[in-house]
């Protein structure tokens, strides 16, 4: 009996951001790990692309892990699955250095909808996740940066009572009168860790001593929300807040009880005064794009992104969805701000699967350096505006 216990691989997810579904040990070095997934308040739109767990008891022998229960639906269309043949999970032996599984370590069974990774462990314990985690402890390090041009406030309190921090970056000595106001919001969807790395990189660049950063601080006020769905990030959720509401729908129907995060941020935006440009950051598995009012500012933003980052899409900016084709309760933040508040608001998607120009998936470092280029592109895009679309 003792021998059997010693042979067991132990899977745990009882830590910040952790998530795994039912786990079966098929053989000594073979696990089947269901992906827990998350459905909305009406048990629809299940999305299964966040897993973050630790395996203990590894030996230096090849291990096989099958990821199962991947099917769900998206925008009420059943049968979709976010995890696909292109998915490359990440792993770490110390929770500091994360790497993607290589192409020859990953196989995909289309008929069974199962992703399998095979690897030879380099330690007796490994962490595995869909993308490199960005947790509240990572945000805390950002909040603790001491800089005279950074101030931190709380823009919302989550359904479970957690604070949603807002970082304001500007050179107060430069005077407020002609400054552009730029908002960047990340992580409405908890699984989209890359967006928090973009926001983190943007903030670190803006607070740097680079002459370009000093100038951007003099000319702009940057308002940055690195983690919008703080409950989802802490509790290992995928897409919906803890009450089952999508933080990037429901902006037209926000409610203090069901969607307290949207409700509070929406009110803060209504009271924010001038907003020259608002950008919501998202991740997809397989596409980059910018969506919003296709004016000269958008054109300049996309031009800057193409010149100064690894942004991919040739078709951006994509036109904002017409008002009349948005169903009640389905408004995204950028649609709401644009149609209801006449704010120039965009959504940007950045892919997590293999980036063709890089020849590999974007790493956390790639997302972080994207943030620096994004800061410059946003500022350049609004430098010629009078403040209204």
Q: Least CB distance from residue 339 to Zn ion, whole Å?
A: 19
The smaller minimum CB distance to Zn ion, of residues 69 and 285, is found at: 285
As a whole number of angstroms, the distance between CA 17 and CA 236 comes to 4
Question: Which tokens belong to 191?
Answer: 């699984």
The smaller minimum CB distance to Zn ion, of residues 100 and 189, is found at: 189
Bridge partners, residue 168, by sequence: 151, 223
Q: Least CB distance from residue 287 to Zn ion, whole Å?
A: 12
* Strand-strand pairing, 10-12 and 23-27: unpaired
Strand ranges for 170-317 from DSSP E: 180-186, 220-225, 277-284, 289-291
As a whole number of angstroms, the distance between CA 259 and CA 263 comes to 6
The smaller minimum CB distance to Zn ion, of residues 49 and 68, is found at: 49
144 Rama sector, left if φ>0, alpha if ψ -120 to 50, beta otherwise: alpha
The smaller minimum CB distance to Zn ion, of residues 189 and 362, is found at: 189
Residue-level length of the chain: 389
φ, ψ of residue 90 to 5 degrees: the values are -110, 155
**Which residues, including other chains, have CB under 8 Å from residue 140's CB and lie 6 or more apart?**
none
The smaller minimum CB distance to Zn ion, of residues 196 and 377, is found at: 196
Nearest-CB residue for Zn ion = 282
The smaller minimum CB distance to Zn ion, of residues 282 and 351, is found at: 282
Q: Least CB distance from residue 353 to Zn ion, whole Å?
A: 15
The smaller minimum CB distance to Zn ion, of residues 136 and 282, is found at: 282
The smaller minimum CB distance to Zn ion, of residues 149 and 189, is found at: 189
Bridge partners, residue 117, by sequence: 65, 106
Q: Least CB distance from residue 388 to Zn ion, whole Å?
A: 27
Q: Least CB distance from residue 46 to Zn ion, whole Å?
A: 15
Q: Least CB distance from residue 239 to Zn ion, whole Å?
A: 7
- In the complex, the residues that contact Zn ion under the rule CB under 5 A are 189, 282
Question: Which tokens belong to 302?
Answer: 């996309």
Strand ranges for 123-219 from DSSP E: 125-129, 150-157, 163-169, 180-186
Angle at the Cα of 117 from the Cα atoms of 113 and 118, rounded to 5 degrees: 140
Among 343, 299, 291, which Cα is nearest to 320's?
A: 291
As a whole number of angstroms, the distance between CA 379 and CA 277 comes to 9
Question: Which tokens belong to 22?
Answer: 């039912």
Q: Least CB distance from residue 247 to Zn ion, whole Å?
A: 8
Q: Least CB distance from residue 284 to Zn ion, whole Å?
A: 8
């Amino acid at each position: 009996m003792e021998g059997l216990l010693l042979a067991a691989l132990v899977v745990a997810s009882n830590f910040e951001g952790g998530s795994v579904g039912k786990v079966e040990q098929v053989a000594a070095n073979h696990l089947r790990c269901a992906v827990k997934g998350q459905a909305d308040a009406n048990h629809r739109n299940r999305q299964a692309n966040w897993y973050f767990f630790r395996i203990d008891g590894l030996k230096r022998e090849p291990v096989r892990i099958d990821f199962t229960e991947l099917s769900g639906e998206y925008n009420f269309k059943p049968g979709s699955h976010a995890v696909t043949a292109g998915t490359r999970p990440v792993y770490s032996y110390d929770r500091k250095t994360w790497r993607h599984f290589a192409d020859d370590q990953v196989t995909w069974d289309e008929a069974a909808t199962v992703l399998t990774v095979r690897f030879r462990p380099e330690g007796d314990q490994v962490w595995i996740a869909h993308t490199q985690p960005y947790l509240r402890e990572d945000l805390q390090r950002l909040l603790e940066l001491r800089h005279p041009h950074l101030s931190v406030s709380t823009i919302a309190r989550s359904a479970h009572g957690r604070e949603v921090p807002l970082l304001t970056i500007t050179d107060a000595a430069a005077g407020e009168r002609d400054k552009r106001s730029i908002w960047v919001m990340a992580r409405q969807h908890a699984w989209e860790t890359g967006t928090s790395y973009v926001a983190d990189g943007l903030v670190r660049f803006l607070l740097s001593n680079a002459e370009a950063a000093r100038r951007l601080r003099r000319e702009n006020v940057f308002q940055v929300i690195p983690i919008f769905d703080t409950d989802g990030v802490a509790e290992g959720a995928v897409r919906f807040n803890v009450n089952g509401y999508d933080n990037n729908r429901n902006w037209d129907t926000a409610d203090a009880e069901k969607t307290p995060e949207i409700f509070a941020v929406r009110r803060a935006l209504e009271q924010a005064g001038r907003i020259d440009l608002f950008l919501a950051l998202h991740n997809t598995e397989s596409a980059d794009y910018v969506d919003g009012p296709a004016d000269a500012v958008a054109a300049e933003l996309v031009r800057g992104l193409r010149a100064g980052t690894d942004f991919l899409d040739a078709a951006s900016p994509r036109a904002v969805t017409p008002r009349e084709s948005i169903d009640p309760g389905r408004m995204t933040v950028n649609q709401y701000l644009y149609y209801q508040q006449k704010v120039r608001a965009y959504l940007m998607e950045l892919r997590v699967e293999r980036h063709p120009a890089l020849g590999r998936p974007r790493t956390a470092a790639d997302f972080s350096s994207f943030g620096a280029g994004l800061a410059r592109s946003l500022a350049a895009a609004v430098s010629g505006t009078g403040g209204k679309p």
